[in-house]
Structure 1
Amino acid sequence: MRQYGILAALAIIILLFQVLTGGRLLYPGNVSNLIQQNAYVLILAIGMVIVIIAGHIDLSVGSIVAVVGAVAALSMQSWGLPWWAAVVIALITGALIGAWQGFWVAFVGIPAFIVTLAGMLVFRGLALVLLTGGTISGLPPEFNAIGSGTLPTTGTPDLITFAIAALAAVALIFQQVRTRATLRRLGLPRERAVSAWIKVGIAVAAILYVAYLLAYNRGTPIILIILAALILIYSFVLSRTVFGRHVYAMGGNLFAAQMSGVKTKWVTFFIFVNMGFLAGLAGVVSTARAGSAVASAGTSFELDAIAAVFIGGAAVQGGVGTVVGAVIGGLVMGVLNQGLSILSVDAAWQQVIKGLVLLLAVAFDVMSKRRSGR
């Protein structure tokens, strides 16, 4: 119910703004911009959902985005490194920052809220120091393409985009068939065939429609391929690996997980290393999209990521949440931003509306848990 509810909410919000904007919301250019402008939220939400499932929180990701962007820009402009080396250094920097914070949370025992709140201040300050309060621009076009570029095209419409969409649709259908066959062989309960295939049909139709819009614009954004890879990898990690099961176990009942032999300290440590790595990637994408590094980059990114995770169905107490749900939550926030901007709604009222959406999402989670308890 939680997963389908947020999907239904996303569809309703899209239809609502499509009507209110006179069809402008789903213009090909707007769809491409929606993906590229909200990529950082989706990347951060993928990492943040793992943190929240385990029962922690990370308030420092926005500041990490800023300091990693500064490191990437300095690597290219001041140190003379090629763009790909700057990307590698930026990702390593993010992972090291995550290891630093994970050490204090996992092995010293300081609550993640305090550690990451301190990190938010420390790394924001370091970003100001590295950039001396200014801006570094004039970054290589190959680097900027990460955030705003597209794959090579065959013209209009772009056949490469249609080919990628067809492969994604076939893979989705194959995965559904394989999953149902496995459940049938093991004698495990499975979703009714009608509802399962309706869900797959809607997903395939959505993939092909988005591909149609992108094919008639500039083609497939590079960041969309990166996001698709992250969603697949982290969905597999959470649902099919021992590490993923340990994350859910810690969030569900930390004491029981410890008694079951889960190395909770090391799991926590690597959760924050991963969060730092993804924050570093978000820093690269954000800097590439802007074409410059500024000390104010990443402001309130942590709030957007946390909101996306909770809107996507994660439980406040931990133990519940999915990567796909967090991505859908991020898309809800992105569509709200895009639609309200097209309607020229004042920025202050946009904040009010997004805050109310977050409150309603968490209230729904709390009330559904209360009914389940009864």
Structure 2
Amino acid sequence: MATRTQVKQATFLANLQYVLGQNIRQYGMFIALFVIMIIFSITTNGIFISSRNLSNLINQTGYIAVLAVGMTLVIVIRHIDLSVGFLAGFLGAVAAIALRFWELPTIVVVPMVLVMGALAGLLTALPVAELKIPSFVASLAGWLIYRGALQLVTAGTGTIIIEDETFNAIGNGFIPDVPFSLIPGYHTLTLLLGVVAIVAYVLSEIRTRNKKLAYNFEVLPLDMFVLKLVFISTLIGLLAWIMAGYNGLSWTMVIVLLVVAIYHFVTTQTVLGRHIYAVGGNPEAAELSGISVKRITYIVFASMGMLAALSGVLFASRLRSATTTAGTLFELDAIAAAYIGGVSAAGGVGNVIGSIIGALVYVSLTSGMNLMGIDIAYQYIVRGLVLVAAVIFDVTTRRRGRSA
């Protein structure tokens, strides 16, 4: 006869298997990131997981992460934007010119460049929304135009050095610490923000669960819900602890977190977000239900252009310069990060949290292989195989979902 403990263990394992099976698309990327970090931590004798390397890794991820957020929404509505790489490079060069030659302050330059990015996104959307030209073709034209524009504005010097310390701090600086120290050698404010983030996350999840229960919606079993809270809270705490061991949170990470928070709220809690996913799921049905597909197309591409501008700012700030080659392959990195993060090539599926995890997976592969001294040729092959695996995983899970 089974004991009560054995029954509880069987129930727990059954619940775990069921939750993972039903949410494999959502949790698969987290598992992949966890496995990658363990492998590289072992193969690099702990260097990969060090505070300094993780801080550099997050800063390197920043410009790809913000692009991946925008690209996720573009792919969700069944389009693609190939222009964003050189658009980011071009607008980063515009920012450098404005700072160095026009002598404008950072507080003016950054909003100006973001507005220019949004306008560029609208221009890309114009032939797509009005003339039904495939976004691949329209954005490829933008890719060529912005590549030429970047070469034109950097033709005289090749590299434009940025000397503005405020601007350079965006990509290289860290948030200040509080005057007192809780643990010697650790960034106190980062630790406090980590605690606040954990508390906010737990309260938010509990509130969401209670709302679903009030309306008799399906929720996770209690043991799985508690396991999820513990797992995510532990990850947040470990990240805060590791970051606090170096210089604390970077301004790049703060910007990325703000972008993720804003876009996560918009896509999950607003009418606009619901309309975006409705258009991605079935554009014809969305149009018949009163949703303006043209309007959504303009909004998503304008958002993509603005995030491309932010990516250009982060990249130029990190390098402290604008170069002729800035933006090369950025669009492909963003597309890869979005697909690895769970966005569906068929549209209608994907979220900004997944795109950030996808960007981390993608950049972690590069960083880990660099630390191991693996040749760049093999790095491209590995990243390509990972991308193929992500797309196959997407197709397989969608077919399984239809047959279930």
- TM band (smaller chain): over 0.9
1:73 alignment partner AA: A
The answer to whether the Cα contact below 8 Å between 1:73 and 1:139 also exists between their aligned partners in 2 is no
Query: Is 1:75 matched with 2:98?
Result: yes
Match of 1:32 in 2: 55
Query: Is 1:149 matched with 2:149?
Result: no
Whole-angstrom CA distance in 2 between matches of 1:291 and 1:181: 48
Whole-angstrom CA distance in 2 between matches of 1:14 and 1:199: 20
The answer to whether the Cα contact below 8 Å between 1:153 and 1:218 also exists between their aligned partners in 2 is no
Flag as ranges the 4+ runs of structure 1 deviating above 4 A.
Answer: none
CA RMSD of aligned residues (A): 1.1
Whole-angstrom CA distance in 1 between matches of 2:212 and 2:402: 28
Whole-angstrom CA distance in 2 between matches of 1:197 and 1:278: 35
Match of 1:263 in 2: 292
Match of 1:251 in 2: 280
Match of 1:368 in 2: 397
Match of 1:345 in 2: 374
Whole-angstrom CA distance in 2 between matches of 1:312 and 1:323: 8
Pick from 309, 313, 336 the counterpart of residue 307 of structure 1: 336
The answer to whether the Cα contact below 8 Å between 2:96 and 2:162 also exists between their aligned partners in 1 is no
1:183 alignment partner AA: K
Q: 1:233-252 to 2 correspondence within 5 Å?
A: 233-252=262-281
Match of 2:162 in 1: 138
Deviation larger for 131-140 or 12-21: 131-140
Whole-angstrom CA distance in 2 between matches of 1:196 and 1:41: 31
Q: Percent identity?
A: 40
Larger Rg: 2
Query: Is 1:92 matched with 2:121?
Result: no
Match of 2:203 in 1: 174
The answer to whether the Cα contact below 8 Å between 1:62 and 1:302 also exists between their aligned partners in 2 is yes
Whole-angstrom CA distance in 1 between matches of 2:240 and 2:271: 35
Query: Is 1:292 matched with 2:315?
Result: no
Query: Is 1:210 matched with 2:239?
Result: yes
**Deviation, structure 1 residue 139:** 2.5
**Deviation, structure 1 residue 138:** 3.4
Deviations 1:67-122 (A, max 9, x none): 10111011011111112211111111111111111112112221111110000000
Deviation larger for 264-273 or 150-159: 150-159
Deviations 1:213-257 (A, max 9, x none): 111211210111111111111111111111111111111111111
Deviation larger for 250-259 or 192-201: 192-201
Q: Secondary structure at the match of 1:348?
A: helix
1:152 alignment partner AA: P
Where in structure 2 are there 5+ consecutive unaligned residues? 1-23
Query: Is 1:126 matched with 2:149?
Result: yes
Q: Secondary structure at the match of 1:293?
A: strand
Deviation larger for 363-372 or 92-101: 363-372
Whole-angstrom CA distance in 2 between matches of 1:349 and 1:140: 38
Whole-angstrom CA distance in 2 between matches of 1:170 and 1:371: 36
2:91 alignment partner AA: V
**Deviation, structure 1 residue 153:** 2.4
**Deviation, structure 1 residue 372:** 2.5
Q: Secondary structure at the match of 2:278?
A: helix
Q: Secondary structure at the match of 1:38?
A: helix
Deviation larger for 166-175 or 107-116: 107-116
**Deviation, structure 1 residue 204:** 1.1
Query: Is 1:231 matched with 2:280?
Result: no
**Deviation, structure 1 residue 373:** 2.7
Whole-angstrom CA distance in 2 between matches of 1:251 and 1:10: 27
Pick from 325, 334, 339 the counterpart of residue 363 of structure 2: 334
Match of 2:7 in 1: none
Query: Is 1:20 matched with 2:43?
Result: yes
**Deviation, structure 1 residue 208:** 1.3
The answer to whether the Cα contact below 8 Å between 1:102 and 1:268 also exists between their aligned partners in 2 is yes
Deviation larger for 304-313 or 154-163: 154-163
Query: Is 1:277 matched with 2:301?
Result: no
Whole-angstrom CA distance in 1 between matches of 2:356 and 2:129: 27
Deviations 1:295-320 (A, max 9, x none): 21011010111011111111111010
Match of 1:104 in 2: 127
Whole-angstrom CA distance in 2 between matches of 1:193 and 1:127: 54
2:154 alignment partner AA: L
**Deviation, structure 1 residue 371:** 2.3
Deviations 1:149-172 (A, max 9, x none): 101124731110111111111110
The answer to whether the Cα contact below 8 Å between 2:91 and 2:309 also exists between their aligned partners in 1 is yes
Query: Is 1:116 matched with 2:116?
Result: no
Whole-angstrom CA distance in 2 between matches of 1:20 and 1:117: 40
Using the size of structure 1 for normalisation, the TM-score is: 0.98
Whole-angstrom CA distance in 1 between matches of 2:366 and 2:265: 30
Where in structure 1 are there 5+ consecutive unaligned residues? none
2:249 alignment partner AA: T
